[in-house]
C-alpha cells in the first residue's frame, strides 16, 4: 500500500537531512500527483537568485514523492539513474514544481518491477517562479526496484 498522506509528507520533507535543510515543502501529495515548493530564503546563490543545487533538489524529489503516494513502499524502493537540468532564467522567487503519473503508468511500472525486479520511469518537469515563468526544465530517469 502507498503511505498515508501524513507519513508521505514526513518522508518527503524530513527523511533526507539534505532536503530538510533546504526547507522544501510538500503542498500536494496524492496518488499520481505531487506539488512541491522550495523557498528562496536560505537558498540564494552568489547573485541572489536560487542556487542550482536547490533547483536540482526541487526537481529530483518528485520522483520519490510520487513513489511514496503511488507505489507499495513495503515491496519497492526508488533510485535516480539520470537527471538533466536546463537553467532558463534566474530563479528570483520561491519556486514550485508539479509532477504526475497516470494510473495506467503506475500500474505498468509496478507490474514490471514485480516481474523483473526493476522498472524505469521518467519525469519531464518545469520549475516555475511565483509569476508562473519557467526558470528551469528537468528530465529525470528513475527506477523502481523490488526489495
Q: Can you tell me which of 52, 74, 103, 117 binds its own copies, judged by CB under 8 A? A: 52
Residue that is written with C-alpha cell 526541487 in the block: 58
Closest approach of its own copies to the CB of residue 84, in Å: 4
Q: Which of 127, 29, 22, 38 is nearest to 73 (CA)?
A: 29
Can residue 81 be called a binding residue for its own copies (CB under 8 A)?
A: yes
- Of the two residues 47 and 131, which places its CB atom closer to its own copies in the complex? 47
Closest approach of its own copies to the CB of residue 38, in Å: 10
- Of the two residues 6 and 104, which places its CB atom closer to its own copies in the complex? 6
Stretch of residues binding its own copies (CB under 8 A), selected from 11-19, 25-33, 105-113, 127-135: 11-19
Can residue 14 be called a binding residue for its own copies (CB under 8 A)?
A: no
Can residue 120 be called a binding residue for its own copies (CB under 8 A)?
A: no
- Of the two residues 42 and 103, which places its CB atom closer to its own copies in the complex? 42
Can residue 104 be called a binding residue for its own copies (CB under 8 A)?
A: no
Closest approach of its own copies to the CB of residue 120, in Å: 13
Q: Which of 50, 51, 64 is nearest to 99 (CA)?
A: 64
Say how far apart CA 12 and CA 46 lie, in whole Å. Answer: 28
**The pairing of beta strand 76-87 with beta strand 134-146:** antiparallel
- H helices of the chain, in order, are 5-14, 17-22, 52-70, 103-116
Say how far apart CA 68 and CA 36 lie, in whole Å. Answer: 14
Say how far apart CA 70 and CA 8 lie, in whole Å. Answer: 10
Amino acid at each position: 500500500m502507498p503511505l498515508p498522506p501524513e507519513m508521505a509528507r514526513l518522508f518527503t520533507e524530513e527523511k533526507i537531512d539534505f532536503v530538510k535543510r533546504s526547507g522544501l515543502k510538500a503542498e500536494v501529495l496524492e496518488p499520481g500527483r505531487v506539488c512541491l515548493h522550495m523557498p528562496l530564503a536560505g537558498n540564494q546563490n552568489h547573485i541572489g537568485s536560487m542556487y542550482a543545487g536547490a533547483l536540482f533538489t526541487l526537481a529530483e524529489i518528485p520522483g520519490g514523492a510520487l513513489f511514496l503516494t503511488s507505489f507499495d513502499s513495503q515491496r519497492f524502493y526508488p533510485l535516480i539513474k539520470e537527471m538533466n537540468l536546463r537553467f532558463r532564467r534566474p530563479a528570483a522567487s520561491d519556486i514550485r514544481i508539479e509532477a504526475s503519473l497516470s494510473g495506467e503508468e503506475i500500474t505498468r511500472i509496478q507490474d514490471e518491477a514485480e516481474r523483473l525486479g526493476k522498472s524505469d520511469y521518467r519525469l519531464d518537469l518545469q520549475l516555475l517562479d511565483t509569476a508562473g515563468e519557467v526558470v528551469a526544465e528537468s528530465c529525470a530517469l528513475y527506477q523502481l526496484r523490488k526489495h
